[in-house]
Amino acid sequence: MIQFEWPWIAALLPLPLMIRYILRPIAVADEAALRVPFLDEFRTPTTSARSFAVKRYLIGLAVIAWCCLIGAAMRPQYLGDYIDIPVSGRDLMLAVDLSGSMEEADFIIKKERVDRLTATKVVAGEFIERRIGDRIGLILFGEQAYLQAPLTFDRLTVKTLLHEAVIGLAGKSTAIGDAIGLAVKRLRDQPMQSRVLILLTDGENTAGAVKPAAAADLAARENIKIYTIGIGADEMIVRSIFGARRINPSAELDEKMLQTIADKTGGRYFRAHDTKQLEQIYNLLDELEPIEKDVQRFRPQTTLFHWPLAAALLFMCMIIMLRNRAGIVHTQGKT
């Protein structure tokens, strides 16, 4: 159906008539330099009839243009059918590590070796798409922690901001405690009962003003559950001029710290050695924090004011063209 947001503007429809009868037109002097008593004999009835017809068309077009302008000012809207939106009542914050170690290429996607951040973007992006009804926020941290996206239902924007993140954007070090502290600050003032932080990192806390253990205690007091994910392969073959050798690219990962953070807040710690395990972890998070079936109804609205506004402009252009044409014809009739 179509409705008008400001229907009271329709009261302005008779405004031109009121102005016409209240303010009389100014008399235009029709003085000629040379008076000819028989000048009216040169005027043909055809020219007068044509001028009268053009005047009627102009008045009609002006009335239509005015009605279109009033219709546009009333802000017409098209109301679509009601859409059911499931709402889980969760405030879910993602904290993603952007430190220099995330550029380690020890993950494989579609038979191609990629760095840890790229794998995180792919898997976490799919996770964000599935969280219909959750308010999701994004924190990026390195040497410092930054709020990239506040809590919002706009999952597409959060996913886009995640894919735009680059390694080293927040510094080369890792401030895990600051990231948790920032998440607590953003989550504790929310009225929702279920507050969740998913923290993904591949290293240990090497920067920041807040210790991870202290930040975890604060999160526990605010009833914020933290799921920690340690990312990175345990073994990797590196080839050099001296031959191939096996290394542990996740030697700096502080699993004990991540486990402690999860235990203090009632969450869980997960270890992702490859892309498949990372996908399994996010699928398990869907099970641990399921989307509830509470439903809110939403009715989409589409504004239509630009259509009558465009029509009004079109009729105004037609009026100008007809007036100019009538002026040319009138001038030719005089000559």
pLDDT band of residue 226 (cuts 50, 70, 90) is very high
Q: What are the two backbone dihedrals, phi and then psi, of residue 148, each rounded to the nearest 5 degrees?
A: -85, -35
Q: Quick check: 52 pLDDT over 80?
A: no
Q: What is the pLDDT of residues 200-214, one digit of tens each?
A: 988 888 888 889 999
Is the predicted pLDDT of residue 63 greater than 80, yes or no?
yes
Q: What is the mean predicted confidence (pLDDT) over 247-264?
A: 81
- The Cα–Cα gap between 205 and 81 comes to 51
Q: Is 61 helix (H, G, I), strand (E, B) or coil?
A: helix
The pTM of the full predicted model, rounded to 2 decimals, is 0.60
Residue 90: its pLDDT value, please? 76
Which CATH code fits 86-294? 3.40.50.410
Three-class SS of residue 165?
coil
Helices of type H across the chain:
15-22, 45-73, 116-130, 155-164, 176-187, 212-221, 255-265, 275-288, 306-334
pLDDT digits (tens, 9 = 90+) for 152-203: 888 999 999 999 998 888 788 889 999 999 999 988 877 666 788 999 988 8
Residues 6+ positions from 27 with CB-CB distance below 8 Å: none
Which residues have C-beta within 8 Å of that of residue 107, sequence separation ≥ 6?
A: 113, 114, 115, 116, 118, 119, 233, 274, 275, 278
pLDDT of residue 240: 57
**295 pLDDT higher than 60:** no
State the pLDDT at residue 323: 79
Please name the residues in contact with 18: beta carbons below 8 A apart, sequence gap of 6 or more.
none
**What are the extents of the domains in the chain?**
2-24+44-79+300-334, 86-294
- Name the nearest CA neighbour of 207 among 182, 233, 177: 177
pLDDT over 80 at 1, yes or no: no
Average the pLDDT over 30-48 and give the result: 52
